Amino acid sequence: MYQKLAAFFMTGTGNSYRIADWSARIAEEHAIPAEVQQIKSGEESKPVGQGTLAVFTYPTHGFTAPWLIMKYVWKLPQGRQAHALVMPCRAGVRVKGLFIPGLEGTAGYLIALLLWLRGYTVRGVMGVDMPSNWTAVHWGMNEENAAVITKLAEAKVASLVATVLQGKRHFDGLIQCLLGLVLVKISLMYLILAQLILAKLFFATDRCTGCSLCQKLCPKQAIRMCGGREKRPYWTYACDSCMACMNFCPHKAIEVSPLIIMLFVYITSIPAAGYLSGWLLASRAVDLASLPLAGFGLQYVYVLLAAAVTYRLLHLVLGIRAVRKLLGTLSHTRFFRRYQAAGVTLKQIHIR
C-alpha cells in the first residue's frame, strides 16, 4: 500500500527518536524504504508525497503538543490525501514495579486535526509511554525501569505501525483526549505562560566549562553562550524545556534551583494589571476591571518583561563564582540521576 515511510520526530533526550526509529525498522521489515527526519527550529516543513506514510512523534508538554510540532505541521505543504500516523510520546513512570502511564491529553488529536486541515488522511493516533525525562522535577528512571517501559513501548509501536502498513486504521486515546479537553485551561496556560517561565529556571553551575554543547544540541536554538572570558549558557524564551541540555551535559553542570523557582513565583505573581487599574481608576481614567482582555494582556506583558529582566540580572550575578557555587550546592537537581534514551547518540538526535 505504501512506497515509503517518513518518520518525523521532535526530541530532547531521544525518546521520540526511538519511536521514529522503530517505525522505520518495521517499515523496512515490510520491504518499504524508510527515512527518519528530526524537526528543529529554522527548518522548513518538508512535503510528503502520495504513497508515503508520514509518522509524527514528539513529546507531550502540558497535556498537549509543543509549539514547535504545531508550527511545523501547520506549515506543511498540502498533503493531497497523503497518509499520516500520529504518536505523541508521554511520560511513563515505573516505581517499585508499579507502572504509571502518562497523560498526553490533546497532544495526539490536536496534531491529527492540523494534519487533516492540511489535507492529510490520518490513519492512526496513539500515545506511547516512554521513560519520563523531566529531571528538573524528579530523578531520571534507572536502567531497569527505563528498559521495562521502553520494551512495552516498542511492542506497542511495532503493532500499530504494522497495522497501518497493512491498510488498516487504529485510533487510541479518545478518553485521554477528553481528559485533555477538561484540562485545556492548563494546557493553554502552559503554552502561553508557564513554558516561558520554565525556560528561565535553568542555570549553569560552577562545573560548567563553557564547552557550548548545550547550545549545539538544542533543537529550538534557544541557548546562547553569553559572558566575557568565561561564557556560560543563557536560556531564551524559545526554550521548550525539552531537557536535552540538562540530561546531556557531560559535566552535569545544568541545574534548577528552588531559590530561582521561588524568585520567579514571587516576581510573576505581582498583580501589575491590578495596580495599574487602581491607579487609572483613581485618576478617573479607565478601569481595567471592565476590560478583562486588556487586563490579561497587560499582566502577560508584565510577566514576560519581569522574567526577562530578572533572568538577565540573575545571569549577571551568576558570573560570580561564589554565587554559582551557592546555588549549585542548594539545588535539588544535583542529586538527581540524569536520563538519556538507551542506545541513542547525540549525533543521531541533536548535533547539526
Backbone torsions φ then ψ of 166, nearest 5 degrees: -85, 5
247 occurs within a structural domain: yes
Q: Which of 153, 182, 211 is the last residue of a domain?
A: 182
Domain end point (choices 120, 155, 182):
182
- Which domain, by its residues, includes 243? 197-335
Query: Could you tell me the pTM of the whole model?
Result: 0.90
- pLDDT tens-digit profile, the chain (352 residues): 799 999 999 999 999 999 999 999 999 999 999 999 999 888 788 888 889 999 999 999 999 999 999 999 999 998 887 899 999 999 999 988 899 999 999 999 999 999 999 999 999 999 999 999 999 989 999 999 999 999 999 999 999 999 999 999 999 999 999 999 999 999 988 888 777 788 888 999 989 999 999 999 898 899 999 887 888 999 988 888 899 999 999 999 999 998 888 998 888 888 876 676 666 556 655 555 566 666 677 778 888 888 889 988 998 998 888 999 999 999 999 999 999 999 898 888 876 5
161 and 214: one domain? no
Do 70 and 176 sit in the same domain of this protein? yes
> Does residue 323 share a domain with residue 232?
yes
Answer yes or no: is 352 within a domain: no
Is residue 217 assigned to a domain? Answer: yes
Q: What is the CATH number of the domain that holds 176?
A: 3.40.50.360
| Residues 264 and 200 sit within 8 Å (Cβ to Cβ) | yes
Q: Does residue 235 form part of some domain?
A: yes
CATH code for the domain of 212? 3.30.70.20
Domain count for the chain, please give it: 2
Query: Within a domain: residue 188?
Result: no
161 with 13, same domain?
Answer: yes
The reply to whether 226 and 121 lie within a common domain is no
